[in-house]
């Protein structure tokens, strides 16, 4: 196995084990609000420290971009970390959250891990090495159209400036598909696309740590990931469409005409 992927898995498992142990303490946690409906707890911060300590011990010169502590400068390698994607779910005891870690080298994603501590599921990928769930190889679904497709998404919860545009896309996709799911963790949503549990996914205004790991896992599982223009700017714009090839094209062709020009990027 890729040694950098090995270290990332170790870091994710250390953080995930701490998160799982902390679940029963939710009522006693120190929780603060970063913005409207955007929360951070002691568990997020401690899990992030566990991850960074593990990565830095192995690769002290690497840069870090982490949700809670921000940017730490380093060399041409950069770890992109979300220590607890789905904090609101976690704080409510809703068991849909994950640790997300990706490594970028010269603007190209190289390894990725998404770990679900509640189900002991570790989704991994390395560039050119395929994607796996634990020890099983992953492939996206072979569905040929939106008809019968199950899609994942994320509702706006903090920044509502694009709510009208989002609702237009939701209204357009609902009648074309078998259903839409919004579990509350973008990282796991993307992992589920790679695993074939859902056929596609779209969301507005995400952060790079929400989607970096998931995008590589989907690509290595044979799926497609783009921004709303069909390009590769999703890590910067936060606007993302992902899915198996036919379903991806169905989502893109459905929602792109509905979006204002400033969101088609």
Same structural domain for residues 133 and 245? no
Residue 59 domain boundaries: 3-137
Considering only residues 33 and 233, tell me which one the structure prediction assigns the higher pLDDT: 233
pLDDT at 82: 97
Residues forming a β-bridge with 132: 124, 137
Cα torsion through 142, 145, 151, 155, rounded to 10: 140
Considering the domain boundaries, does residue 157 fall inside one? yes
Same structural domain for residues 227 and 132? no
pLDDT band at 38 (very low <50, low <70, confident <90, very high): very low
Same structural domain for residues 116 and 204? no
Same structural domain for residues 190 and 77? no
Considering the domain boundaries, does residue 207 fall inside one? yes
Same structural domain for residues 165 and 112? no
Considering the domain boundaries, does residue 144 fall inside one? no
Same structural domain for residues 133 and 154? no
pLDDT at 261: 80
With CA atoms as reference, report the closest residue to 234 among 201, 257, 191, 258: 201
* CATH code of the domain containing 182: 3.40.190.80
Considering 137, 171, 198, which residue would you say is the last residue of a domain?
A: 137
Overall average pLDDT of the 183-198 stretch: 98
Number of domains in the chain: 2
pLDDT digits (tens, 9 = 90+) for 72-96: 999 999 999 999 999 889 988 899 9
Same structural domain for residues 210 and 255? yes
Considering the domain boundaries, does residue 165 fall inside one? yes
Considering the domain boundaries, does residue 111 fall inside one? yes
Same structural domain for residues 54 and 163? no
Overall average pLDDT of the 7-16 stretch: 98
pLDDT at 92: 87
The DSSP line for the chain is --HHHHHHHHHHHHHHHHHHHHGGGGGG--EEEEETTEEEEHHHHHHHHHHHHHHHHH-TT-EEEETTTEEE--SSEEEEEEEEETHHHHHTT-S--EEEEEEEETTEEEEEEEEETTTTEEEEEETTTEEEETTEE-------SSTT-EEEE----S--TTHHHHHHHHHHHGGGSSEEE--S-HHHHHHHHHHTSSSEEEESS--HHHHHHHHHHHHHTT-EEE-TTSSS-HHHH--EEEESHHHHHHHHHHHGGGS-GGG--
Considering the domain boundaries, does residue 78 fall inside one? yes
Q: How many other C-beta atoms are found inside a 10 Å radius of the C-beta of residue 164?
A: 10
Considering 86, 113, 137, which residue would you say is the last residue of a domain?
A: 137
pLDDT digits (tens, 9 = 90+) for 91-110: 888 999 999 999 999 999 99
Same structural domain for residues 157 and 124? no
Same structural domain for residues 92 and 26? yes
Asked whether the predicted pLDDT for residue 17 surpasses 60, the reply is yes
* CATH code of the domain containing 51: 3.30.540.10
Same structural domain for residues 46 and 117? yes
Considering 110, 137, 164, which residue would you say is the last residue of a domain?
A: 137
pLDDT digits (tens, 9 = 90+) for 196-247: 999 999 999 999 999 999 999 999 999 999 999 999 999 999 999 999 999 9
Of all residues in the chain, what percent carry a pLDDT higher than 90? Answer: 81
Same structural domain for residues 35 and 110? yes
pLDDT at 39: 44
Contact between 55 and 7 under an 8 Å Cβ cutoff? The reply is yes
Considering the domain boundaries, does residue 145 fall inside one? no
What is the pTM (predicted TM-score) of this model?
0.94
Considering the domain boundaries, does residue 143 fall inside one? no
């Amino acid at each position: 196995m890729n040694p950098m992927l090995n270290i990332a898995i170790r870091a994710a498992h250390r953080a995930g084990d701490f998160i799982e142990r902390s679940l029963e303490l939710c009522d006693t946690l120190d929780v603060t609000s970063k913005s409207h409906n955007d929360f951070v707890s002691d568990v997020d911060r401690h899990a992030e420290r566990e991850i960074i300590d593990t990565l830095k011990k192995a690769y002290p010169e690497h840069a870090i971009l982490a949700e809670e502590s921000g940017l730490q400068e380093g060399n041409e390698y950069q770890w992109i970390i979300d220590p607890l994607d789905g904090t609101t779910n976690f704080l409510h005891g809703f068991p849909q959250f994950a640790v997300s870690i990706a490594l970028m080298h010269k603007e190209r994603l190289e390894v990725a891990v998404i770990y679900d501590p509640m189900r002991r599921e570790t989704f991994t990928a390395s560039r050119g090495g395929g994607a796996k769930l634990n020890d099983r190889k992953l492939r996206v679904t072979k569905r040929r159209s939106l008809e019968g497709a199950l899609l994942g998404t994320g509702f706006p919860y903090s920044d509502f400036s694009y709510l009208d545009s989002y609702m237009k896309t939701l209204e357009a996709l609902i009648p074309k598909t078998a259903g839409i799911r919004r579990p509350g963790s973008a990282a796991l949503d993307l992992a589920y696309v790679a695993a074939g549990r859902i056929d596609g996914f779209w969301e507005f205004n995400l952060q790079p740590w929400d989607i970096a790991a998931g995008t590589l896992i989907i690509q290595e599982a044979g799926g497609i990931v783009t921004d709303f223009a069909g390009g590769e700017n999703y890590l910067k714009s936060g606007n993302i469409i992902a899915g198996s090839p036919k379903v991806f094209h169905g989502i893109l062709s459905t929602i792109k005409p509905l979006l204002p020009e400033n969101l088609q990027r």
